[in-house]
Amino acid sequence: MTLYLQALLGIAVFIALVLPMSRNIRRINWKLVGIAVVLQFVICLLLLKAPFVKEGLLYLNQAVGALGAATLKGSSFVFGYLGGGDTPFTVTNPNAVVTFAFQVLPLVIVMSALSALLWYWRILPVIIRGISWLFERALGTRGPAGLVATANIFLGQTEAPLLVRPYLERMSRYELLLVMTAGMATIAGSVMVIYSAMLGEQFEGVLGHLITKSIMSVPAAVLFAHIMIPDDDDATQTLQEPPRIYSSAMDSITRGTSDGLALYLNIVAILIVLTAFVALANSVVGFLPMVGGEAVTLERIAGWIFSPIAWLMGIPWAEAATVGSLLGVKSVLNEFIAFIQLSAIPPEALSERSRLIAIYGLCGFANLASIGIQISGIGTMVPSRRGDLAELAWPAFVAATLGSCMTACVVGIVAG
């Protein structure tokens, strides 16, 4: 019962933390805030507890397994045993020949191409339209900004705004903030599959949880964006149909492959650089006096700072430092490294419930690098709004971070 009360307190505290950043507290629609919180619980209950939905999500996990096996066929054909093919020598330690860059990450390229093909076949637009209709009725997220917020469940933080590029120029500041917050609070479908592959052995049905978290993040993004900038713009633009962005099936596959390759190389480069930077920083802070008989590291410092936040998410205090460290790594570096560290944590170090809460808290693009990515990426689409984007980037980062923490609170209460 104490952990449930912690999570309920966390929801209240996370909302309270944003109030000082509100442009006009008196204009906050508390009914909308309440609906957004309730909607998160409804989505979580429906997707995790309804038998037919749970069954469907399990089939999705099987589909990811099939997709991973198919990708391994392609990577082994190109990279040989480095890509998962047969080794020309006797292997005594199978883990020694598992290469992250050549066996796991190629899934990003395949998933990117598949997502583009599904978009051309109008399958993804139909799904997005259906979810968007629900949020429009419940939260009033209509128009281009609402479409982008919903599309972020499957698309990346700079890919989704491309769908409404002609409308970005005339968006209100609230709509821009919603677009940026939703982009940071969710993750793209391509990397969602990667995280599922990374965590699948430790947590059954993890893809269903990642999808659930992304959908729950939409009302969370609306909630925090509304509190920060209560929407006083009645002249909301209308968007009848998502535009076609591919001319043929082959065009979608080739362009999706190209986009996936760019993402693949970006992930590889970021992992190399950020891992090296963390090692360098740990070398420097290692000169500090030992605390509790252990050397001081960035991870430990992050754990001390973010432990209270982890506790408010419903994590027992004995495990709060571990989860807090992951939250710090995710916020300062990125969620990819945080998920890698989570997958390396022994099963006995975190309870299954705490691990589930951590997955929801870490799942999202809210990190310092994303601030630059959004200002640069969206700013390129609409240069005249670059100043607004730069001004709204930090509020969006805070809103997205707290939105992910709130979804973690909700799943901690629902999952039990």
pLDDT of residue 340: 85
Q: What per-residue confidence (pLDDT) applies to 238?
A: 59
Report CA 351 to chain centroid distance, whole Å: 22
pLDDT digits (tens, 9 = 90+) for 282-338: 888 877 887 777 777 777 787 788 899 999 999 999 999 899 989 988 888 788 888
User: What pLDDT was estimated at residue 236?
Assistant: 56
Chunked mean pLDDT (size 10), the chain, 416 residues: 84 94 89 92 86 68 75 87 79 64 81 84 80 77 79 78 76 89 85 79 80 90 92 55 76 88 80 79 81 76 87 92 90 84 86 91 86 80 86 92 94 84
Residues contacting residue 388 through CB under 8 Å, at least 6 positions apart = 173, 176
* pLDDT score at 11: 94
- Look at residue 272 in the predicted model and tell me its pLDDT: 82
> What is the model's pLDDT at position 237?
59
Q: For residue 202, what pLDDT is reported?
A: 73
**pTM for the model:** 0.82
Q: What is the pLDDT of residue 163?
A: 72
Which residues pair with residue 294 across a beta bridge?
291
Handedness of CA 43, 46, 52, 56 (dihedral sign): positive
Structure token digits, residue 373: 């990515």
HEC string of the chain?
A: CHHHHHHHHHHHHHHHHHHHHCCCHHHCCHHHHHHHHHHHHHHHHHHHHCHHHHHHHHHHHHHHHHHHHHHHHHHHHHHHHHHCCCCCCCCCCHHHHCCHHHHHCHHHHHHHHHHHHHHHCCHHHHHHHHHHHHHHHHHCCCHHHHHHHHHCCCCCCCCHHHHHHHHHHHCCHHHHHHHHHHHHHCCCHHHHHHHHHHHCCCCCCHHHHHHHHHHHHHHHHHHHHHHHCCCCCCCCCCCCCCCCCCCCHHHHHHHHHHHHHHHHHHHHHHHHHHHHHHHHHHHHHCCCCCECCECCCHHHHHHHHHHHHHHHCCCCHHHHHHHHHHHHHHHHCCHHHHHHHHHHCCHHHCCHHHHHHHHHHHCCCCCHHHHHHHHHHHHHHCHHHHHHHHHHHHHHHHHHHHHHHHHHHHHHHHHC
Q: How far apart are CA 377 and CA 262, in angstroms?
A: 14
* Nearest to 114, CA basis, from 193, 227, 201, 7: 193
